[in-house]
Chain A
Amino acid sequence: MNVTIVDYKSGNISSVINSFKEVAQNKIKIDVTSDVSKIKSTDKVVLPGQGSFKSCVDALQSINGLVDCLNDFVMNKKKPLLGICVGLQMFADVGYEELETKGLGWIPGKVTKIDNQNGKYKLPHIGWNQINLVKKSKIFKDIKDKSHMYFVHSYEFVPTDKSSISATTEYSSKHVCAVEKENIFGTQFHPEKSDKTGLKIINNFINL
């Protein structure tokens, strides 16, 4: 089996690569590429994302055929994909960071700035926060409710269809921190930086 981490030159993906290689050891091949032909034939895709919603979408689109390839992978082939941080946010129809920007539209909803209640809450939301598991999700197998995960973000994904929400966290208000919709998985937090619990989530995804 092959797991492919999409390297679309947006932000730092070293930690994502290191964590997947740590979990996979040498049993599962972890590829890191933006080569569309390789992504097409892989079994699972990881879509990381750092920086702004707009910069990530722009970077995806700058690689010829990549968005079409991901759409086909997810919507037609129905193969598993894990989005991390802005990788998850891009599932939305639209994001409002910098400029209104169209997302991939895989899970209806929008990405807006966390309400910091006039400065009462610092942004970015940085650090370890507990997640509330709100539905059974394959990537949360053996993960306890209220586990701590590492977050760093100022924007949140607000899906229209609440049934895709698999976990929430509380900061200023309750917001979505993980989604699962059929073969599409996403975490707002960083499993690659969330110590042993995070590695377990990565392991669950690899072993889907």
Chain B
Amino acid sequence: MGFITSMSIWLIPCFILVVLITATVKRVPSYELFVEGGKEGVKMAFSLLPFLVGMIVSISILRSSGALDAFINLISPFLSFIGIPPDIIPLAIVRPISGTAALGMTTELIDAYGPDSFIGRLASVMQGSTDTTLYILTVYFGAIGIRKMGYALKVGLLADLVGIIASIVIVSILFG
């Protein structure tokens, strides 16, 4: 862990150093370019705002009404029938939809079952090995104004499903 943490800490400052030295050696106007690029960042953030507000509000209506929990309860028997532990099902469903909700659930599961329990390990691996598809889709396509997304969502959600099944199988084999 020590090595990994220190590598993550060193990586960004070192990258910035390399960029700045290279720019100076090549006589590229670094400060002016930084400001120019930064202006794009401001524009990007503001064009993102309506996409994020829309998506996050819609998700939170679904969650706060209790409909999401009801849906999870409804399909839990089926999922536990095919071998998915019932306690992990809410996390598996929420993971592609909401990043903050999934992180909260992972923390709750680790708290309730202990980090070194089967559920605790499974939640850890599941949280780490897939990403919030809906958020990434909203941000990446929203920022550049893509309206026709083609088969992107299908691919993202199917890959999530494979990732979730893979986590269950791998954790069962390694720690079962």
Q: Do chains A and B stick together as partners?
A: no
| Residues on A facing B (Cβ under 8 Å) | none
| Residues on B facing A (Cβ under 8 Å) | none
